[in-house]
Amino acid sequence: YQTWIFPGERPMFALLGVRGQTILVDPTSRLVMVHTAVRKQPSSPGPSELGALWRTVVSALGT
């Protein structure tokens, strides 16, 4: 996993695996989302759908 820290007022970070595994964390609202995956190739088509889902979850459930 590589760790990525998101810029912005609200501290959030993600752990990204080479084959699509993702852990997204919002410490402020104590939310964690885990996406399990096993891609055949270690390339990413783009995390746009997963990112959109995460932003929607944080918006709906975050404090």
Tell me the residue type at 34: V
* Structure tokens belonging to residue 15: 């752990």
**Is the whole model's pTM more than 0.85, yes or no?**
no
Q: Can you tell me the distance from the alpha carbon of 24 to that of 55, in angstroms, rounded to the nearest whole number?
A: 10
Per-residue pLDDT of the chain (63 residues; tens, 9 = 90+): 899 999 988 899 999 988 889 999 999 999 999 999 887 776 655 567 888 998 899 999 976
CB 14 within 8 A of CB 22: yes
CA 1 to chain centroid? 12
SS3 17: coil
